[in-house]
Structure 1
Amino acid sequence: MDTAWAGSEVLADRAAQLDPDRLGEVVRVISVGRRVDVYGVAVSGLVAAETSQKPLRIRLALDHQNGSQLVMK
């Protein structure tokens, strides 16, 4: 199976599951928030770290916490 094709199939499947109204509400809440934290544990912690960097392109600062930081608090 072609990896690119399989990846696009997964994206199309996820997009079909999205509720546009709910997604719009999420975008609205994040855009007016004074602070947005992203949490993750183990591999999800890496995803949280990466996710927190993406909005910098639109001048929105996010902070991330991984599992070990959560345990220490």
Structure 2
Amino acid sequence: MPGTDVTPPNAEPKTRRCHCVIAHPQDENEWARAQAALDNALATNDAQGVLLACMQLMQPCPTRDEQAAR
């Protein structure tokens, strides 16, 4: 599809990504989406959605912490 940026599967990513079972947000946009998902789950009484969003936002991420230490 024109206008989409597709990265080949064997290409090296531009930044190191989270490899945790529950992917943690790595930048402000991802953080905002996870926060919006938490807000939506709370508004709709989605207990599993709340759990997943909290796991994304609250757990320490070795990749994110390593980038901050640089």
Q: When the two structures are superposed, what TM-score results if normalisation uses the length of structure 1?
A: 0.26
Of Structure 1 and Structure 2, the greater helix share is in 1
Highest RCO, 1 vs 2 (Cα 8 Å, sep ≥ 6): 2
Q: When the two structures are superposed, what TM-score results if normalisation uses the length of structure 2?
A: 0.27
* Structure with larger Rg: 1
